[in-house]
Structure 1
Amino acid sequence: MPNPHAGSWTPALILSLVAAGTILSLSMGLRQSLGLFMEPMVRGTGITVATFGFAMAIQNLAWGIGQPFMGALCDRFGGRIVVIIASVLYCAGLYLTATGNTIGLYFGGGLLIGLAVAGTSHGVLVGIVSRLATPAVRATAISILAAVGSLGTFVIAPVAQTMIDGSSWQFSMGGLALLAASMAAVTLLFRRGRGETPATAPSQQVDARRAIAEALANRTFVITTMAFFACGFQLIFIATHLPNFVGICGLPPSVGAQAIALIGICNAVGTLVAGYLCQRWGNRNVLALIYLLRTASIAVFFVLPVSVETTLVFAAAMGFLWLSVVPPVSGLINGLFGACCRMPATHGLTPSADGLGAWRGSRAV
C-alpha cells in the first residue's frame, strides 16, 4: 500500500538527520583541524614535517580502506554501534598522538583516527539518512547532511588554535578527545523508519563479491572513483599543510586557523548550492564543474603572492567546493545501484547503504 509518509520529513528522518549531521560535523571538524598541530609538534617534540605528513597519509589510507569494512559492520550490527566504536578509536588515536612520539603519531593519528573517520563520515552516515528519506527528499537530505557536516570545522579550528596559543597543543588535543567522545552520546538520537523489513530477508541479501564486481564493471563508477583520488589529494593536502604553509610564508598561526574555519562555513553554502544545481543540471555536469573550479582556484593561489587576503579568498573558494562533490556523487551512485538495503530488525539503525553502500564516499573527500 502507498506510504503515507512519501515525500515527507518524518520524525525518524529529522532526528536521524540531526544526529548524523552532528556526528559528521564533529568528525570532520576534528579531522580538518589536525593540521594546526603540525607546527607546535615539530617545534616541541622533534617530529619532522615529513613524519607528520606521512602519518596523515596513513590516516587517509585507513579512512578510505576502512569504509567498506565499516559499511559491512553497519549492515550487520547497525549504525549506532559503528559510531560508538569509531568514537572510542578517535579518543584513543588523539591520546596516542598527544604522546608526541613517532609511533604514537603513526598508530594513533594515522591508523586509529583514519578508521574512526571511516566510521563517522559519509560512507556510513549518508546511508543512514538515505534509507530513511523518500526519493522526493533524499537529495535535499543528503545536501543538508553534507552542509551541516562542515560547520564543526568553523568552530573547532579557531577554538583549537586558541587553546594551543593559550595553553599547549597537548591540552588542545585533550579537548578534541572530549568532543570525539561526545559522538557516542549523539547516537541516541538515531531512529528507525516505519515499515522496514529485516535485512535477513533472502531478497535483501547482497553478496559482497558480486557487489564489488558489479561496481568495477561499471564505467561511470570506475571514473568517479578515479576522480576521487585527485579529490582526496587536493582536500587532505590543504587541510594538513595549509596552516604550516602560511606560517612559512610569514603569516601568523591564526591565519591558518581562520582559513580552515572559512573552509568549513563556505562548504555549508557550497554543498547546498551543489545539491540544488544537481537537480537542474544533472550530477555529472555539476561534478565536472566542481573539479574544474577547484583546479583553477589552486592554480591562481600559487601564482599570486601569499598574503592574508589571498589566503582567505583561496580558503573561501575551496570551502565552497570542498564537500560539494557529495550530492552529485551520491546521486550518481544511487542512480547506478539504488538507495539502501534494509536494516537488521534487532537494531535501531539503518545500515550504511546497499551492498555497494560501503563504496559510497569510500574515498576520503
Structure 2
Amino acid sequence: METVEHHNKFSKSLIYMLIGSALILGLSLGIRHGFGLYLVPMSDEFGWGHNVFSLAIAMQNLVWGIAQPFTGILADKYGSKIVVIVGGVLYTLGLLLMAVSSSSTLLNVSVGLILGLALSATSFTILLSAVGRAAPPEKRSFAMGIASAAGSFGQFIMLPSTLLLLQSIGWSAALIVSAILAAFIIPLAWMLKAPIYVSPKSGNHSDKPTLNFKQILVIAKNHKPFWFLSLGFLVCGFQVVFIGIHLPGYLIDHGYTATTGTIFLALVGLFNIIGTFGAGWLGGKYSKTKLLMGLYGLRGITISTFLLLPLSLWTVYSFGIIMGLLWLSTVPLTNGIVANMFGVRYLSMLTGIVFFTHQVGSFFGGWLGGINHDMSGNYNMIWMVSIALSVVGVLVHFFVNEEAIVHD
C-alpha cells in the first residue's frame, strides 16, 4: 500500500513537472529558433554584413555555454524554479533591447549577452535535469524525450508566427510581441517543484555518504568517457546552429523567399517532436551510445545528399523533415548518459559542462558561417566542415560507455 501511494504521488508530481517544463521549453526554444529570420531584415536595414548578426548569435551561444555550468550549480542547490524565474526576466529584457538595437554593440549586448544568460536558465540543461530528478531511472530517458519534444513543438508553432509578425508589423514590433510571450515563462516556473525521486525500497539514502559538488567534479574530470561524450555534443552544436541560422540565408542566395526558409525550419521543429520523443523512448531500451553514433552518421549522410542533389522545394523540405528527426534527438540521449554515469544529484551542473562544449560548437557554427558567406559569397566550406564533423561524432562515441561510476 505504501509503495502504491508513493508511486501515485510521484506520477502526479512528474506529470505536473512535465507540463511546466514543456510549456517553458516551448516558449524559450520556440522564440530562440526564430532568430535566424531576423538576420536578413536587420542586416539590410542597418547595412550590416551577415557577419555582424552571425557574431551576435555566436556570442549568444558561447555565453549560454559558459554560464550553463553555473546556472546548473544554482539549480542543483536552490531548485530550478528560482533559476527559471530569473531567466524569464532576462529573456523578456533581452528581447525588448534587441527590438531597439541599431548598432552592433547593442546587438551583442542584447542578443549575445542578455539572451545568452537567459537561455542558460530556461532551456534544456535546467529543465531536463529537473525532469530527470523527478523521474525513476527506468522512465528517465523517456520523460526527457517528452520534455525535449515540447521545445520542438514550440519551434513548429513560433516560426510561422514569427514570419507572419515580421511581414505584417516589422522586425522591431515582432520582437516586442516575442518579449510579451517570453514573460509567461516567469509564472510557469512555479510548476517546477516536483521532488527528487527516491525509490521506496532504498529509503532516503541517509546511511550512504553524499558526495559534494567538488568531489563529483574531480570524478568527472578524470572520467574519459565523459569528455568524449562532451566532444560529440560539440559536433551537434556546430551543425544545428549553422543550419538553423544560415539555411534561410542560403536559400535566399539561391532565389528562394524567406517563406521557404521558414517552412524548412518549421518542418525541422515538427519532425523533431517525433525525433526527440523517439530517441527518449529508444534510449530506455537500447544503448544510448550506439543510438548517438547512428544519429551523427545519418546527419552526415543527409547533409551530403542534400548538397549533391539539385536544389528544389522538394529537396529543401525533405532535408527539413529528415534533419528534424535527427535535430535534437541527441539531447535526451546525451543527458541520459550523464545521469547514468553520475546519478541525478548534480545533474544540472554536469550536463551544463557537457552543454558548454555544445555551445562552443554552436559559436563556431554560427560565426564561421557568416564569415564564410561574407568572404566567398557562399557556405561551401562550412558545409564540408559539417560533414567531416559527423564522422567525428560517430568515432568519439566508440569511447563512451554508460557505466555508472556514481549511483543515485
TM-score (normalizing by structure 2): 0.81
Deviation (angstroms), 1:2: 5.3
Q: What residue is the counterpart of 1:316 in the other structure?
A: 321
Answer yes or no: is the 8 Å Cα contact 1:274–1:327 preserved in 2.
yes
Matched, 1:245 2:250: yes
Aligned AA for 2:16?
A: L
Within the candidate set 278, 281, 285, 2:283 is matched to 278
- The range that moved more, 54-63 or 129-138, is 129-138
How far the C-alpha of 1:359 sits from its partner, in A, is 3.0
- Residue of structure 2 equivalent to 1:215: 220
Identical-residue share of aligned pairs (%): 33
Aligned residues: 353
Aligned position for 2:171: 169
In structure 1, the residue matched to 2:26 is 25
Is 1:337 paired with 2:342?
yes
Indicate the residue corresponding to 1:232 in structure 2.
Answer: 237
Taking the aligned partners of 2:162 and 2:340, their CA distance within structure 1 comes to 40
The CA distance in 2 between the partners of 1:67 and 1:7, in whole Å, is 33
- For residues 1-51 of structure 1, the C-alpha deviation after alignment (integer angstroms, 9 at most, x for no partner) is 857434986211111110011111111111111000001001112222101
Distance 2:300 2:196 in 1: 44
Q: Secondary structure at the match of 1:280?
A: coil
Q: Give the CA deviation at 1:139.
A: 1.7
- Partner of residue 350, structure 1: none
2-side partners of 1:18 and 1:255: how far apart?
Answer: 32
Q: Report the AA paired with residue 14 of structure 1.
A: I
Give the direction of change, closer, same or farther, for the CA distance of 1:355–1:239 in structure 2 (3 Å limit): closer
Question: 1:170 Cα deviation (Å)?
Answer: 0.6
Alpha-carbon contact 1:151-1:265 (below 8 Å) kept = yes
Contact conserved, 1:338 with 1:354, CA < 8 A, in 2? no
Q: 1:131 corresponds to which residue?
A: 133
Q: Following the alignment from structure 2 to structure 1, what is the Cα–Cα distance between the partners of residues 280 and 45?
A: 44
Contact kept in structure 1, 2:233 and 2:354, CA below 8 Å = no
Structure 1 contact 83–187 (Cα < 8 Å) conserved: yes
Equivalent residue for 2:394? Answer: none
Match of 1:304 in 2: 309
The alpha carbon displacement at 1:254 in A equals 0.7
Q: Distance in 2 between matches of 1:129 and 1:71?
A: 14
Aligned mates of 1:97, 1:269 — CA distance in 2: 32
Per the alignment, in what secondary structure is the counterpart of residue 184 of structure 2? helix
Matches within 5 A, 1:1-365: 4-6=5-7, 10-99=11-100, 100-193=102-195, 203-204=209-210, 206-208=212-214, 210-340=215-345, 353=347, 356-359=350-353, 361-362=355-356, 363-364=358-359
Deviation at 1:334, TM superposition (A): 1.4
1:181-210: CA deviations, max 9, x gaps?
A: 111111122233388799x999545133x3
1:136: how far off?
A: 2.8
Structure 2 contact 142–283 (Cα < 8 Å) conserved: no
- Worse overlay, 245-254 or 184-193: 184-193
Offset, 1:276: 2.5
Distance 2:227 2:103 in 1: 39
Which residue of 2 is the match for residue 346 of structure 1?
none
Change in Cα spacing, 1:133 to 1:195, as seen in structure 2 (3 Å) is closer
Change beyond 3 A, Cα 1:354–1:309: closer
Q: 1:216-271: per-residue Cα shift (whole Å, max 9, x none)?
A: 22121111101111110000111111111111111111111111111111000011
CA–CA distance in 2 between the matches of 1:57 and 1:235?
12
Deviates more, 1:129-138 or 1:231-240: 129-138
In 2, the alpha carbon distance for the partners of 1:211 and 1:265 equals: 37
Whole-angstrom distance in 2 between the partners of 1:83 and 1:181: 11
With normalisation by structure 1, the TM-score equals: 0.90
Q: CA RMSD in A?
A: 2.5
2:376 aligned partner: none
The 8 Å contact of residues 7 and 134 in structure 1, kept in 2 or not, is answered as no
Counterparts of 2:197 and 2:320, CA distance in 1: 44
- Whole-Å Cα distance in 2 between the matches of residues 66 and 325 of structure 1? 21
Structure 2 portions without partners, runs of 5+: 363-408
Deviations 1:310-343 (A, max 9, x none): 11111111111011012221221111111235xx
Over 3 Å counting, the alpha-carbon distance change for 1:173 and 1:148 in structure 2 is same
- Confirm or deny: 8 A CA contact 2:65 2:352 kept in the other structure: no
Write the distance in 2 (CA, Å) between the matches of 1:354 and 1:361.
10
Structure 1 window deviating more from structure 2 (305-314 vs 233-242): it is 305-314
Task: State the distance in 1 between where 2:121 and 2:168 align.
Answer: 32
**Alpha-carbon displacement from aligned partner over 1:265-306 (angstroms, at most 9, x marks no partner):** 100001122123223331111000000011111111122222
